[in-house]
């Protein structure tokens, strides 16, 4: 994999901040976009733009074709059985809210239970809490050990005959832990319980195969996979999606409307009320083409090298503690240096051109479990280099000495 050449595809990486070359290590929050993605947005607005699905004219048909081809690209990317199983949403958050609402309506009543884990992003906690208020369901939480691994025996014990769904993150956005999702799914399925995986931090780094996982629902966001903002995916097994009622009402999602009665469209449109972001879906397909051409296995291997190297170098820094030391980890490293507040570290690194994230990373319950307020988080992507990690390590050490 030629990282120098890859970097040329990302114009933003050439810029400076505060007169220093940008070192972008905030890929967990969002990734930068290659030229092919940005150009796709401009090209489609300039040469194809027209609303999809309802038009007989040339532009509308062409825009529809691009939009539906993108659905097929996503299907192929995660190896879903049918493009009917690919629901376009605004992002992971919207996808989980959609599912929480629809599952709540169709399959949950007072006293039913949903299992999540200690390491969830707020977007896989709060939608279920809203359901607690609306439907009187109960939330149960899989605990973890100090390395940041879920306690599987405790998980088994949480399952009861009232469990209606297990909803956990594939990869933790704070700890980097890659959860044993196949085992989690197997255990749930043995009890006849469906599983939702939040794949926001997995899809950019791992080859995800929803059929091999046998997962019932899977969500992710395009903007974390080198695609545009405003697009996400809810994958669902067709049999499940067929059982669920629509989420929102409006255009696209109907078959026939009268004032007396409305019938709903087939999958996936039943869940896609209103004009979709068809420009965004085309750009997302370009991002998928881009990373597929490089090869997910090569991306994973490169990021693994970066993470191993950074972990080793971080351990040389006096007083630095890494949060998340599971053996099976993705390219995220959260850390604190003794006596230095994470905001101070982040702010000083920023002045040196290094973009890292600081704070609770939308995982406040996890912070409470760790007994801290927040961390500094470096997260690596396809275009990061060992030299950038050397710079990060040197600057963290310099900040440490300043304190
Ligand atoms: N889940 C995880 C694990 C995340 O890391 C994020 C974003 O950081 C989300 C969900 C929410 O994604 P989005 O803001 O794109 O909806």
Cα 10 to ligand 1 centre (Å): 22
Q: Which of 36, 151, 317, 362 is flagged as catalytic?
A: 362
Residues 6+ apart with CB under 8 A from 90: 230, 231, 232, 277
Distance CA 267, CA 300 (A): 33
Q: Is the pLDDT of residue 54 over 90?
A: no
- Identify which of 171, 172, 173 to mutate to test ligand 1's pocket (most ligand atoms within 8 A of the CB): 173
Residue (of 235, 169, 161, 148) closest to 192 by Cα position = 161
- Are 168 and 155 a contacting pair, CB within 8 Å? no
Nearest alpha carbon, ligand 1 atom 4: 200
Quick one: pLDDT at residue 324?
A: 98
- Provide mean pLDDT across the span 196-215: 98
**Is the CB of residue 91 below 6 angstroms from any atom belonging to ligand 1?**
yes
| Residue 362 appears among annotated catalytic residues | yes
Atom of ligand 1 nearest to the CA of 120: 3
- Provide mean pLDDT across the span 205-231: 98
Candidate from 54-58, 280-284, 331-335, 352-356 with smallest mean pLDDT: 54-58
**The residue to which tokens 């995220």 are assigned:** 332
Question: Is this model's pTM higher than 0.85 or not?
Answer: yes
Quick one: pLDDT at residue 55?
A: 86
Q: For 306-352, what is each residue's pLDDT tens digit? A: 999 999 999 999 999 999 999 999 999 999 999 999 999 999 999 99
Q: For 357-388, what is each residue's pLDDT tens digit? A: 999 999 999 999 999 999 999 999 999 999 99
Quick one: pLDDT at residue 178?
A: 98
**Is the CB of residue 89 below 6 angstroms from any atom belonging to ligand 1?**
no
Atom of ligand 1 nearest to the CA of 30: 8
Question: Is-cis flag, bond preceding 369, omega within 30?
Answer: no
């Amino acid at each position: 994999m030629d990282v120098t050449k890859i970097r040329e595809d990302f114009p933003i990486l050439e810029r400076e901040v505060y007169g220093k070359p940008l070192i972008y290590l905030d890929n967990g929050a969002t990734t930068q976009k290659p030229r092919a993605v940005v150009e796709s947005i401009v090209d489609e607005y300039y040469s194809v733009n027209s609303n999809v699905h309802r038009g007989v004219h040339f532009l509308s048909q062409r825009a529809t074709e691009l939009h539906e081809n993108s659905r097929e690209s996503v299907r192929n990317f995660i190896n879903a059985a049918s493009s009917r199983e690919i629901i376009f949403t605004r992002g992971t958050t919207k996808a989980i809210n959609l599912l929480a609402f629809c599952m709540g309506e169709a399959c949950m009543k007072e006293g039913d239970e949903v299992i999540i884990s200690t390491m969830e992003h707020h977007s896989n906690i709060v939608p279920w809490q809203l359901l607690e208020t609306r439907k009187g369901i109960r939330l149960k939480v899989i605990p973890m050990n100090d390395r940041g691994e879920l306690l599987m025996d405790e998980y088994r014990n949480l399952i009861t005959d009232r469990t209606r769904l297990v909803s956990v993150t594939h990869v933790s956005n704070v700890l980097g832990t890659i959860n044993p999702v196949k085992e989690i799914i197997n255990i749930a399925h043995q009890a006849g319980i469906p599983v939702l995986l939040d794949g926001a931090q997995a899809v950019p780094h791992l080859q995800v195969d929803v059929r091999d996982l046998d997962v019932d629902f899977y969500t992710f966001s395009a903007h974390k996979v080198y695609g545009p903002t405003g697009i996400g995916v809810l994958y669902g097994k067709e049999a499940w999606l067929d059982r669920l009622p629509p989420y929102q009402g409006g255009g696209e999602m109907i078959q026939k409307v009268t004032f007396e009665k409305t019938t709903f469209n087939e999958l996936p449109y039943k869940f896609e009320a209103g004009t979709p972001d068809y420009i965004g879906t085309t750009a997302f397909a370009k991002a998928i083409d881009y990373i597929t051409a490089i090869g997910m296995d090569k991306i994973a291997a490169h990021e693994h090298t970066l993470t191993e190297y950074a972990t080793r170098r971080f351990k040389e820094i006096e007083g630095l503690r890494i949060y998340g030391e599971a053996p099976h980890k993705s390219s995220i490293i959260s850390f604190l240096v003794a006596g230095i507040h994470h905001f101070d570290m982040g702010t000083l690194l920023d002045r040196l051109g290094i973009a890292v994230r600081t704070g609770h990373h939308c995982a406040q319950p996890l912070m409470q479990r760790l007994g801290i307020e927040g961390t500094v988080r470096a997260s690596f992507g396809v275009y990061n280099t060992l030299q950038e990690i050397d710079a990060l390590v040197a600057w963290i050490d310099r900040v440490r000495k300043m304190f």
